Amino acid sequence: MSAALPDDFQRRIIDVHGEPGARWLEALPQLIRTLERRWKLQVLPSYPLSYNYVAPAIGPNGEAWVLKLGVPNPELIGEILALRCFEGDGAVRVIHGDPAGGVLLIERLQPGTPLSLVADDEQATRLAASVMRRLWRVVPEQPGLRSLAHLGEGLRRLRQRFDGGCGPFPADLVALAEAQLTQAPSSATRLLHGDLHHDNILYDQRRGWLAIDPAGILGDPGYEVGSLLFNPLPKTPERTDLRDLLRARLEVLSTELEMPLEGLRRWGIFKCVLSAWWDFEDHGRGWEPVIQVARALADL
């Protein structure tokens, strides 16, 4: 493993990907040098690293770009395919993308202010809805784009983990999430971002508010609002109840997206429960606050 990479990043890659991750880390410095020569890039020091190598880069004519490299996996493949389908409409533009190689070069948004810094919650919600409307489109099913049915396997793993029960998860919330997936149209092929929360929507001085880091999910557009309801976890103003804040967001989303509020509420519960399970599955902790949001949604 390269000493130039943070130790915690290297451990995380190996924890998630095992031996292929270790080989990828060994090859990463050479891959960066190869891409610098191939595309005439100047790759700058990386951003803080989590599960992919991400760094600002300067193109041959001074273009502001971002280089993202990762161990090829369904999440990164879905991101590259989705960005190609979005074609820069509501999302960052792809300069180069290689799903099989886990290589992505995109435009760099400047100043790149995240939506989470917009203090007016109603305004932020309206801006998010406007990005959603631009992104959603009907596309043919293709390898690499996952469906809501695929994501729903997480709920089945939850049941398997606890021998048909729910373990520490509230049984009524798990049942609501399962019911919502069962009721969703199985034939929906609308391409969604799939993880459109406040920190995945950035401001660009030339092109306005744009999405980054899509998951690339095919399914019912109602699913899209889920991440916006809990990630980051809502910070309620003084004397404002969490349920009041969530209701206000849902009312704005229902109006802006012309979708029934009740359906959006149910999708919000689904995404909260699923995300909480993912946290439990991956880390064994950190899931409780998201379940609190699910409970507040169920109590509306």
Residues 143-194: tens digit of each pLDDT = 889 999 899 999 999 999 999 999 999 999 999 999 999 987 766 679 999 9
Residue 270 CB partners (closer than 8 Å, separation 6+):
176, 177, 180, 181, 223, 226
- What integer pLDDT is reported at residue 186 of this predicted model? 64
Across 45-73, average pLDDT? 97
pLDDT at position 30 is: 96
pLDDT exceeds cutoff 50 at 1: no
- Say what percent of the chain tops pLDDT 90: 88
Domains and CATH numbers, the chain: 7-108 (3.30.200.20), 114-298 (3.90.1200.10)
Which member of 15, 120, 195, 282 is catalytic?
A: 195
Q: Of 20-24, 85-89, 159-163, 180-184, which gets the smallest average pLDDT?
A: 180-184
Q: What is the mean pLDDT of residues 248-255?
A: 97
Quick check: 287 pLDDT over 80?
yes
| Structure confidence at residue 231 (pLDDT) | 86
In the predicted model, is pLDDT for residue 3 greater than 50?
Answer: no
Q: Catalytic annotation on 121?
A: no
Question: Model's pTM, two decimal places?
Answer: 0.93
